[in-house]
Structure 1
Amino acid sequence: MKKNLKAISLFSGAGGMDIGFQKAGVDVVWANEIDKDACNTYELNNPDTYLRRGDISEVYEELKNYNGIDLLFGGPPCQGFSVAGKMDPTDIRNTLVWNFLDVLKIVKPKAFVIENVKALGTLKKWENVRERIFKLSNDMGYSCNAYILNSSHFGVPQKRERIFFVGFLEKNVDSNLFISRLEKKRKKPKSVREAISHLGPAGTDKNPLTCTAKITLAANPVLRKSPYAGMIFNGMGRPLNLEEASNTLPASMGGNKTPIIDEDLLYHGSEINWVVEYHKSLMENKTKAKYEEAPKHLRRLTIKEAALLQTFPEDYVFSGSKTAIYRQIGNAVPCLLAEVVARTVIEGLEDDQPFNPEQLTFESVQEKALYSESHLKIFN
């Protein structure tokens, strides 16, 4: 019987990426996280994994015991790179990707996976960061390709785009082959309705009402063609289209940035989509809509629902305040997407292809190539 591969998880958070790798047959033997609430959540759900709490840079020495392990994976905090943030090059969180590469040098796994926001792979602002990731990993003997993936292409009920840097030690796994294997795993996502409706209405036993931030109509709405875009309510919380995959869930959920659900549409068979009607009235008369306040059947996405849209197991236990739990969920890698990546990496490890630096190519599933020689270029 083939033994499970063993892995180290960095910047583990609540464990979303770990769940995916574990479902792919990987034993996560050592993990690291600095956030107290996320650590508590991780330990509650991963009793067989040793969790090292604290700053990763302070525990490099003990990682020498894991030299030659099969896999190293993780998602260094990405707020410094994200278009949703200030995109400040001096943001301390931007340096954590180099901590990951420090560990890579110490541990020298057979393969590694770094997850981060799409912006790190597409914006010229971060060109030097991408190029350095490629160069440092190449210098350590890894072929490193980058893939921008939309989680909804792989069964996740959420349109979440992320970049994955995938490296293999002393072997070149052809990026076209890697992409073809990803393509074989494509799967239509569940809609928001299909993903959460079995929980029951918010406030019931299986679906506690966890966010009570009031929903009010924006005094100066920002309109877009879609009623599910723009800003027609207070704060950044946008309504979710129940018949499609959700938009990206932010880590800032918990207050008025929490997405909005129409309870009547979801559970009470309403034939009127209030959000669509309200948006239509705004589009027809941009100075004044026919409604003065949001109806009571609009409410915020619950913790249980948010976790399911990230494909956490329904029985997953979270620790911390409501805000801390929403943050853990929003920061996570969708479990199902992580599983797809893990299975594809494992297939790459099973290939018998020698490492040839001259054959390296860096491509994305979205038909954008990330190619690095002396410089990194992005082209359509």
Structure 2
Amino acid sequence: MFNCASLFAGIGGLCMGMERAGFNTAWANEFNLDCVRVYKDNFPNSNIIAGDIRELSVEGNNLAPVDVLHGGFPCQSFSAAGNRLGFEDERGKLFHQIIRLIEEFGEKKPKMLLLENAPNLLIGDDGEWIETILTELQLCGYWVSKRNCLLVDANKHCGLPQRRERLFIVATSQDYFLDNPFDYNFDVVEKEDIQNFIELEEVKEDYYYLDKDNRFGSKLNEDLSKKPNYSLSQLRKTYVRPVEYGFCPTLTANMGAGGHNVPFLLDAKGLRKLTESECLKLQGFPETFKLPPASEMAKGKIYQMIGNSVSPRVSELLAKLIYNYLSENLDENRLAV
């Protein structure tokens, strides 16, 4: 079995995909204590280190060497929907902490890297952001170039009824491999029926419902009343955003920011937002994934961490390719211990 570790672990979307592919999670790091709580509930046997990555160190935290280091470093600075300040933003600068930790491992650095971010990272600042990242990784001794920057969509490539394209950078160590073959064009798969993800017949608690006479509710109700059951609608500021039937809008961390950022639907009782469990399923998490009760954690925080998460379906797709590559190309005598 190969070992992996996670930076910016969140609630474990990347870890879940890696473990489904056969990896063992040696350790993980996450700053947000609410995410740490959820992570521990769902990965009880993992060693998650709660705290700022800037205070994490190989020696100080006794971090075990691993075969694969993965992480979705903060995307707000690079996303088209964010401030686009790149490395001028403190969150953008956190990428350099990944480089620092790799260097601290020295000769025991990870054999492969899997890094996740927003697609806009590829083109932002006239391409300077991605060039900076690739150059830093190359200087650390990894085979990586733009052809190893893979765009994966949760809908097209994993069948989820949510269009959610993310960027994944795959790097291979020059100490172990002769090149980096990760330049895949993924097959397009059939979309799953959105009815499998939404609990339309089950009436929910009052928290989720919006009065259709509300000035926002009236707009949403007008839109949804013209559409078939299981249709979704979403407000963007003051207008209703068109949503194609059978699809869910991209779920984002803004769902936890209040207002009406969570998609809405019409059920037997009335106009309501998607529940946390429905959002989890639309992200590709299993129904067995555990969330804290409302008495212990605000719903807004839960929506936010779901919107921030990496889809386990997507991470599993990539993790299987990485696991197979390691199995076929790595001498067992040189595995991480």
Q: TM-score range by the shorter chain?
A: 0.7 to 0.9
- CA gap of 1:210–1:135, structure 2 versus 1, over 3 A, is farther
Q: Output the CA distance in 1 between the equivalents of 2:242 and 2:208.
A: 14
Secondary structure of 1:115's match?
Answer: strand
Distance, in Å, in 1 between the alignment partners of 2:245 and 2:4 is 37
Question: Structure 1 regions of 5+ residues with no counterpart?
Answer: 222-226, 269-295, 354-380
1:17 deviates by 1.2
Q: Structure 1 residues 209 and 151, CA, compared in 2 at 3 Å: closer, same or farther?
A: farther
- Residue 262 of structure 1 is matched in structure 2 by 265
When structure 1 is superposed on structure 2, of 228-237 and 20-29 the one drifting more is 228-237
Counterpart amino acid of 1:133? I
1:119 Cα offset (Å): 0.7
Report the Cα offset of residue 64 of structure 1: 7.8
SS of the equivalent of 2:180 reads: coil
Residue of structure 1 in register with 2:311 after alignment? 334
Shift in alpha-carbon separation, 1:117–1:317, aligned structure 2, 3 A: same
The 8 Å contact of residues 210 and 303 in structure 1, kept in 2 or not, is answered as no
Change (3 A) 1:192 1:229: closer
Secondary structure, aligned partner of 1:162: strand
CA shift, 1:257, in A, is 3.4
Q: How many residue pairs align between the two structures?
A: 304
- Give distance in 2, aligned partners of 1:236 and 1:52: 42
Could you say if the C-alpha distance between residues 235 and 79 of structure 1 is closer, same or farther in structure 2, counting changes exceeding 3 Å?
farther
Structure 1 residues 40-77: Cα deviation after superposition (integer angstroms, max 9, x where no partner): 00111111101100111212143784464111001011
Structural mapping, 1:73-92, within 5 Å = 73-89=70-86, 90-92=88-90
1:195 to 194, 197, 200: 197
SS of 1:8 mapped into structure 2 = strand
Q: 1:309 to 1:236 in 2, by over 3 A?
A: farther
* Cα deviation digits, residues 190-247 of structure 1 (max 9, x gap): 23223224x74341xxxx56544666349999xxxxx999986765774754523x22
Residue identity opposite 1:38 in structure 2: C
Partner of 1:316: 289
- The corresponding residue for 1:5 is 2
Aligned to 1:111: 112
* Residue 168 in structure 1 maps to residue 172 in structure 2: yes
Task: Output the aligned Cα RMSD.
Answer: 3.0
Per the alignment, residue 271 of structure 1 pairs with: none
1:249 aligns with 2:247: no
Offset at 1:168?
A: 0.7
Q: Decide whether aligned partners of structure 1 residues 211 and 63 sit closer, same or farther in structure 2, where only a CA change above 3 A counts.
A: farther
Report the residue type matching 2:52 in the other structure: D
Cα distance in 2, alignment partners of residues 315 and 229 from structure 1: 24
Deviations for 1:321-377, whole angstroms, at most 9, x for unmatched residues?
Answer: 101000010000011001001111222323449xxxxxxxxxxxxxxxxxxxxxxxx
Q: Per the alignment, do residues 112 and 135 of structure 1 end up closer, same or farther by CA in structure 2, a change over 3 Å counting?
A: same
Q: Normalization by structure 2: what TM-score?
A: 0.80
Letter in 2 for 1:201: E
Query: Match of 2:118, as an amino acid?
Result: V
Higher Cα radius of gyration? 1
Structure 1: which amino acid aligns with 2:181? D
Task: Answer whether contact 1:105 1:140 (CA < 8 A) is retained.
Answer: yes
Identity of aligned residues (%): 29
Helix, strand or coil at the partner of 1:247? coil
Segments of 5+ residues of structure 2 without an aligned counterpart are 221-226, 331-337
Q: Would you say 1:343 and 2:316 are equivalent positions? A: no
Indicate the SS of the match to 2:246: coil
Which AA in structure 2 matches 1:48? N
Cα distance in 2 for residues equivalent to 1:114 and 1:15: 14
Q: Which amino acid aligns with 2:9?
A: S
Give yes or no for contact 1:218–1:233 (8 Å, CA) kept in 2. Answer: no
Q: Is the 8 A contact 2:217 2:271 kept in 1?
A: no
User: Could you tell me which amino acid in structure 2 is paired with residue 51 of structure 1?
Assistant: I
5 Å-filtered alignment, 1:188-337, equals 188-197=190-199, 200-203=201-204, 211-212=208-209, 216-217=215-216, 238=241, 240-244=243-247, 246-254=248-256, 255-264=258-267, 297-319=270-292, 320-337=297-314
Match of 2:334 in 1: none
In the superposition, relative to structure 1, how do residues 300 and 29 fare at CA in structure 2: closer, same or farther (>3 Å)? same
**Distance of 2:116 and 2:270 partners within structure 1:** 37
User: In the superposition, relative to structure 1, how do residues 220 and 133 fare at CA in structure 2: closer, same or farther (>3 Å)?
Assistant: same
C-alpha distance in 2 between matches for 1:345 and 1:352: 10
Distance 1:233 1:151, change over 3 A: closer
Are 1:63 and 1:106, in contact at CA under 8 Å, matched by a contact in 2? no
Query: How many angstroms apart in 1 are the aligned matches of 2:202 and 2:236?
Result: 22
Contact persistence 1:73–1:114 (CA under 8 A): yes
- When normalised by structure 1's length, the TM-score is 0.72
Amino acid at match of 2:151: I
Q: Give the Cα–Cα distance (whole angstroms) in 2 for the partners of residues 229 and 211 of structure 1.
A: 14
CA distance in 2, matches of 1:316, 1:220: 33
* Aligned position for 2:151: 148
1:95 counterpart residue number: 93
